[in-house]
Amino acid sequence: MKTGQELIRERTERTEWFQDARFGMFIHWGLYAIPARGEWVRSTERMSVEDYEPYFHAFDPVEYDPKAWAKAAKEAGMKYAVLTAKHHDGFCLFDSGLTEYKSTRTPAGRDLVAEFLDAFRAEGLKVGLYYSLLDWHHEDYPAYGDRVHPMRDNEAYKRNPESFGGYVSYMHGQIRELLTNYGKLDIVWFDFSYDDMNGEKWKAAELMEMMRSLQPHIIMDNRLEGSGSHSGSIYTDNPTTYAGDFASPEQIIPPTGVTGDSGNPIPWEACITLNNNWGYAAADRNYKSATTIIRKLTECVSKNGNLLLNVGPDAKGRIPKESLDILAEVGEWMRDNGDSIYGCKAAPLPKPEWGRYTWNGATLYAHVHEPSVGPIPLVGLNGRIKSARLLADGSELMTSRPWNATEYTSDAFVNFASPEHNSYPLPDPRATVIQLELTQDKELT
């Protein structure tokens, strides 16, 4: 048996690419795109399998063009993507041999997962599949009395706990199919554990052993064991074999990043929606701005984390226009400023008042979000700045100390133009990145 230390070392090796990549696309897509009220619609509206059946017969995403999705992700600066192969409603976007409840049996008639994987790999992106541990379609999954099942209050759906084993073998069988029939996968994203539906209830050790034997390099989130903040043994020095490779904070960016019980950094990925829904929700227009996304991505990186940003394609197979527009603008910023994101991590400096730092060891990146009055202070960095340039165009910036900064002797100063005592608007009001080369005599640790 491997020690905790060995497991953590392997996790560190496996997640190396992931921690460099920093930015990925989450895609929630399924039958729920038709009712268009989010992917929990069956549960929130207490719909039976029969109530939901018309969507199965109507599912015909004639405009599904995964190459266009992959292009949008690539141009946004994303390095990987994760698609819902099966969500809680149990509907499979792949041609499983273990169920008829799959896209190939709908009017779509296509293996949507296979096409997604081909298209995203062709753009050079890493690929992952989301797989719901919950299954509201499978007859062996607890229904009446479960916390979230659509039939939770309906006694007619009382199920014999003994039969749950049937579901577990189905779930293991589908994971085997996905890891056997679809080439190299980079990520498996399980969702989710709750109450006693957790860890060994999923026969997680056995499942993990199978997964590692099929695709040893694959990385996985921490939700086989827990969901929500700080649950699961990923945080300890003694993780289980199925603790996962990265933590998965949801709809929040952890205020101080993610660290383990002994203060050690844990790989993490915040997953967030572009509006307030994962699955397509026609009436939800609460979109975040491109500026917010840029700054939140930077915030993740400044705390050693990744951002997995969701899109919810509609019933025709199109990513909503609002989402595409935001992605395009983020991509425009990323083309100029991606060096301050990829391969970067937390700088060993306190958060500056005007924005955030990211760091890649050789270079410190100052992400300025708030225009300054007078020169921009780089607190504690007096004598440490060798050169300062605007990352977007490589132009040199002024770092001499103007008259209004004479008394702040431990700090360095930078400004966008001369004379340096003046105030200037930010060259990019979304986020202006200054690339700072530091003198090597005293290392930032």
Catalog residues that contact ligand GLC under the rule CB under 6 A. Answer: 28, 39-40, 191-192, 250, 271, 278
- Closest distance of CB 249 from ligand GLC, Å: 9
Nearer to ligand GLC, 127 or 434 (CB): 127
| 432-438 and 385-390 beta bridge pairing | antiparallel
Q: How far apart are CA 216 and CA 210, in angstroms?
A: 9
- Closest distance of CB 310 from ligand GLC, Å: 7
Considering just the CA atoms, what is the radius of gyration of the chain in Å? Answer: 24
Please say whether the beta carbons of 220 and 189 come within 8 A.
Answer: yes
Q: From residue 242, give the alpha-carbon distance in Å to each of 84, 95, 128, 203, 245.
A: 20, 26, 17, 10, 9
Q: Which of 25, 26, 28, 29 is nearest to 315 (CA)?
A: 29
Q: How far apart are CA 317 and CA 70, in angstroms?
A: 13
- Closest distance of CB 288 from ligand GLC, Å: 16
Residue 247, phi-psi category: left (phi > 0), alpha (psi -120 to 50), beta (remainder): beta
Q: How far apart are CA 376 and CA 304, in angstroms?
A: 25
Strands (E), 230-384: 268-273, 305-311, 355-359, 363-368, 376-378
Q: How far apart are CA 135 and CA 182, in angstroms?
A: 22
- Closest distance of CB 136 from ligand GLC, Å: 11
**Which secondary-structure segment (H or E) carries 68?**
helix 66-75
The residue assigned the tokens 């799959």 is 102
Nearer to ligand GLC, 87 or 356 (CB): 87
Nearer to ligand GLC, 28 or 303 (CB): 28
Q: Which of 268, 197, 211, 217 is nearest to 242 (CA)?
A: 211
Please say whether the beta carbons of 190 and 133 come within 8 A.
Answer: yes
- Closest distance of CB 185 from ligand GLC, Å: 18
Amino acid at 274: L
Nearest 5°: phi and psi at 272? -140, 155
- Closest distance of CB 38 from ligand GLC, Å: 8
Q: How far apart are CA 75 and CA 319, in angstroms?
A: 14
Nearer to ligand GLC, 276 or 418 (CB): 276
Q: Hey, which residues does 239 pair with through a beta bridge?
A: none
Nearer to ligand GLC, 39 or 245 (CB): 39
- Closest distance of CB 190 from ligand GLC, Å: 10
- Closest distance of CB 231 from ligand GLC, Å: 13
- Closest distance of CB 57 from ligand GLC, Å: 23
Nearer to ligand GLC, 73 or 366 (CB): 73
- Closest distance of CB 29 from ligand GLC, Å: 11
In sequence order, which residues have a C-beta less than 8 Å from that of residue 45 and are 6 or more positions away? 37, 150
Nearer to ligand GLC, 86 or 367 (CB): 86
Token pair, residue 346, equals 């937390």
What is the sign of the dihedral through the CA atoms of 204, 209, 210 and 216? positive
Nearer to ligand GLC, 192 or 359 (CB): 192
Nearer to ligand GLC, 29 or 416 (CB): 29
Nearer to ligand GLC, 226 or 355 (CB): 226
Which of helix, strand or coil describes residue 144?
coil
Q: From residue 279, give the alpha-carbon distance in Å to each of 27, 30, 180, 354.
A: 8, 8, 27, 35
Nearer to ligand GLC, 308 or 438 (CB): 308
- Closest distance of CB 273 from ligand GLC, Å: 8
